[in-house]
Structure 1
Amino acid sequence: MNSPIKILIAEDDLNIRQGLVDALEMAGYEVREAPDGSETLRLYAQWRPDLLLLDVMMPKLSGFDVCRQIRNGNPTLPIIMLTAKGEEIDKVLGLELGADDYVTKPFSLRELLARIHAILRRSRPPETPEAPPDGRFAFGDLQIEPDRLAGRRPDGSSIDFSKREIELLRCFAAHPDTVLDRQTLLSAAWEVNYGGFSRTLDQHIAQLRKKLPEQLIETVYGIGYRYVSRHS
């Protein structure tokens, strides 16, 4: 199983910080939190997160100072700045210091999760495991056999799948425990961009779930779906 993606939250407001922790953990991320700039740098050095959510106004060291110090040693870490409403100068300065994106408070958790996923997708493209020569791959307890458009249960019996269902399963299996947005899944099975096919995708996922022996595909509301490999 792939290790969970690690996100460090730097935010001095306890209520905002706890809300972010809860939302990100529910989305499947591993999370650490820091209430000030000094603790942020300490946790960053110790834990080496995959992404940093960084508030601008913090005690001890500001988000700008933290961003500058981290960027001096790590030019590629995805950083999203959390800025006060209407403070355009904060956004501009944060981007000039090397932040990848910014979100203005108060913000929508759905929007924030979508931005996190988009940045991680660009910065850390998931590795696709090498498939057997005949294309077979595992999905939960099933052995998927694309050439037969079928999956074989542990007892030897078969489940029939459509070609698009096979492509969806292949995409999920290549990215276990990872939230996949609709565009990623549509591109895998339909080779189209996000648009009017969203409802079609949801219908295919619903049919796919009916065929699977366990609930292996979770809905992540506002983003897409996740294959939960821990059930296998």
Structure 2
Amino acid sequence: MKRMTRAEPAAERTFIALVEDDEDISELVSDLLVREGFEVGACRSGAELDRLKDRRRVDLVLLDLMLPGEDGLSICRRLHAAALRIPVIMITAKGDDIDRILGLEIGADDYLPKPFNPRELIARIRAVLRRTREAHRPSPVAGRWYRFAGWNLDAGSRLLRDPGGEAVELTGGEFDLLIALLDHPQRVLTRDQLLDWTRGRDAGPYDRTIDVQLSRLRRKLGDDPRSPVMIRTVRGGGYLFAPAVETGGA
């Protein structure tokens, strides 16, 4: 593996595996992705990608079609067949429609021929991430309940009770945000992740809804916005739900 780069280590960022054997292209694309706030792991082959996946979570793979040894189509087919499917954008110097169609048929989420506009690459990455994350947005199940720091939430009825047993009213957006936090306790979540899970495709690149809803949710949970202890702000653009969470039900 050639290198791994980070934009900011403080918050958990979207991690992209770049599988490209041309060192100059790999360096240029890696630098572009880091400037856009992604974390990047550069690989030269399918074997290096496999070793990277064994060590950490990969959110998206940028995959060159023409590689020494196992080619991009074979790698894409393996990724698509895996139990935990990783989104794939194929990048190749080949502009043949047959290659593009074949790549999409075996599981690629998008296809971009070289040479490409850097802004188009970033736009396609964000579109694929938003589309695939939306497919895995948390969906509360009727009868499921959560307990945290003396609070109780019934997901089916959307009833939140404070430690004294008093009901606390939540808007739909506040409820969705709280569920996203409760489903990922004690883990740093980025604004993009929270937007994807609560707003999906309705979210724009400068959507400030999460900030407003977080502020309101903190107030309703009695969390001092100037020094929050329940929903903590993590330097670098993330949030962490600090209390331990119990859950059960259907």
Smaller-chain TM-score range?
0.5 to 0.7
Give TM-score, length-normalised by structure 1.
0.57
State how far apart, in whole Å, the 2-side matches of 1:219 and 1:130 are. Answer: 35
- Aligned: 1:92 with 2:134: no
Contact residue 50 and residue 77 of structure 1 kept, 8 A: no
Segments of structure 2 that go 5 or more residues without pairing to the other structure are 1-11, 245-250
Which protein, 1 or 2, shows the higher relative CO under an 8 Å CA cutoff with sep ≥ 6? Answer: 2
Do residues 144 (structure 1) and 151 (structure 2) align?
Answer: yes
Displacement of 1:174: 1.7
Deviations for 1:153-201, whole angstroms, at most 9, x for unmatched residues? xxx9x999542245532332123444535464259xxxxx8389x6666
8 A Cα contact 1:37 1:58, kept in partner = no
C-alpha change, 1:186 and 1:126, in structure 2 (3 Å) is: closer
CA separation of 1:73/1:82 partners in 2, compared to 1, >3 Å: closer, same or farther? closer
Equivalent position to 1:216, from 220, 232, 240: 232
Secondary structure at 1:77's aligned position in 2?
A: coil
CA distance in 1, matches of 2:128, 2:235: 18
Q: How does 1:62-211 map to 2 (within 5 A)?
A: 62-68=71-77, 70=78, 74=82, 77-83=85-91, 87=95, 89=97, 90-102=99-111, 105=116, 106=118, 107=120, 109=122, 111-122=124-135, 135-138=145-148, 142-146=149-153, 149=160, 151-152=162-163, 161-164=168-171, 165-176=174-185, 177=187, 178-179=189-190, 180-182=193-195, 184-186=197-199, 194=202, 202-209=211-218
Q: Is the 8 A contact 1:67 1:99 kept in 2?
A: yes
Distance 1:114 1:18, change over 3 A: same
Distance 1:37 1:114, change over 3 A: same
- How far 1:92 sits from its partner (Å)? 2.1
Cα displacement string for residues 179-231 of structure 1 (whole angstroms, at most 9, x for unaligned residues): 535464259xxxxx8389x666653333334552245257998xxxx642368
Instruction: Report the Cα offset of residue 60 of structure 1.
Output: 1.4
Q: TM-score, normalised by structure 2?
A: 0.54
Contact residue 81 and residue 99 of structure 1 kept, 8 A: yes
Work out whether residues 45 and 68 of structure 2, in 8 Å CA contact, stay in contact via their aligned partners in 1: yes
Question: In 1, distance between residues paired with 2:133 and 2:19?
Answer: 18
Contact 1:52 1:80 in 2 (8 A): yes
Q: Aligned ranges for residues 50-61 of structure 1 at < 5 Å?
A: 51-61=59-69
Matched with 1:190 is none
Determine the C-alpha separation between the residues in 2 that align with 1:183 and 1:92: 28
